[in-house]
Amino acid sequence: MSADVELRPPVRDDPRPAEHFTRFHERVRARPPDGVYELCRALTVLTAPVLWRIRAYDSENVPNGPVILAPNHASFLDHFFCAAFLRRHVQFMAKSQLFQPGPLSWVLTHGGAFPVRLGRGDEEAFITAFGVLERGGLVAMYCEGGRSRTGCVGERARPGIGRLALESGAAVVPVAILGSHQVRNWKRGRFPRVRVRYGRPFRFERLASSTRAQQQEAADLILARIRALHAELERAYARRS
């Protein structure tokens, strides 16, 4: 069997100053996603079932009100796979490197995504995320801090999602995405089956301020829920294959 298409190593450092991203945060804080979001969702719903034979399960587990969506991350398309089959607008905390001059940045901005400067303790990203949750919105955040190159759920959670969950008191919905690490295999004429499953919501007792240890403990629990959900999806998929 031939190997999957190789992916370039992730780039974590973004040398641009924090001020460069102010306009993106201001837009998300001031207004919800616009018609670009609905257009992208429509295109994904139309194309993804054909190209990647995508199926989504248990979307009814995503409640109304402030919610943190916590998917595993293996593909640049996970944003679209995770959000396409939900009636609610999903606003992603996305790595700042995606906000470059060009059409992708425009789509992300008008679609409600906002940047986070990885590895820099980006307080502006958290201010934006808390603001979205305070107005009853839905924020999606990858707790692994980067993409998996194998499709397996990462071994370590970053504490940021723990902070967001503890200090907002929002419901957390773990999400398992299976098969998305192979989406680039279209270059070899092979299209994977992608499966998305939404877990049951849960929440932490709200804290006005949390310690790093508390944030890490909460993040580890969220990642454990994602891993269990992903394993269940793998077993179910294996039975149907």
Report how far Cα 203 is from the mean position of its chain's Cα atoms. 18
Does residue 199 surpass a pLDDT of 90?
yes
What pLDDT, on a 0 to 100 scale, did the predictor assign at position 150? 79
Q: What is the tens place of the pLDDT at every residue in 138-151?
A: 999 999 877 877 78
Q: Is the pLDDT of residue 113 over 50?
A: yes
According to DSSP, the β-strands at 195-198 and 171-178 are antiparallel
Is residue 109 domain-resident? yes
Residue pair 200/177 in contact (Cβ under 8 Å)? The answer is no
Place of tokens 């801090």: 145
In a domain, 12, yes or no: no
State the pLDDT at residue 112: 94
Residue 181 falls within a domain, yes or no? Answer: yes
Q: Is the pLDDT reported for residue 75 higher than 80?
A: yes
Q: Is 5 a member of any domain?
A: no
Cα(46)–Cα(28) distance, integer angstroms: 27
Euclidean distance between the first and final Cα of the chain, in Å?
Answer: 17
pLDDT at residue number 5: 46
**Is 4 within a domain?**
no
Q: What is the pLDDT of residue 135?
A: 96
CB within 8 A of 140, min separation 6: which ones?
68, 69, 70, 71, 79, 82, 83, 90, 91, 92, 93
- Phi/psi for 56 (5° steps) reads -120, 140
Predicted pLDDT of residue 38: 94
The answer as to whether 32 is a domain residue is yes
**Taking 50 as the threshold, does the pLDDT of residue 1 lie above it?**
no
Which pLDDT does position 187 carry in this prediction? 58
State the Cα torsion 208-132-89-54 to the nearest 10°: -50
pTM reported for the whole predicted model:
0.89
pLDDT higher than 50, residue 16: yes
pLDDT digits (tens, 9 = 90+) for 218-238: 999 999 999 999 999 988 877
Q: How far apart are CA 184 and CA 40, in angstroms?
A: 19
pLDDT score for 173 = 98
Residue 238, C-beta contacts closer than 8 angstroms, at least 6 positions apart: none
pLDDT of residue 189: 63
199 occurs within a structural domain = yes
> By three-state DSSP, how is residue 102 classified?
coil
- The verdict on residue 1 lying in a domain is no
> How confident is the prediction for the chain on average, in pLDDT?
89
Domain count, the chain: 1
For residue 40, what are its two tokens?
A: 């992208």
Residue 9's CB is within 10 A of a number of other CB atoms, namely: 7
- Owning domain of residue 194: 20-240
Q: How confident is the model at residue 136 (pLDDT cuts 50, 70, 90)?
A: very high
CATH number at residue 236: 3.40.1130.10
**Is the predicted pLDDT of residue 48 greater than 60, yes or no?**
yes
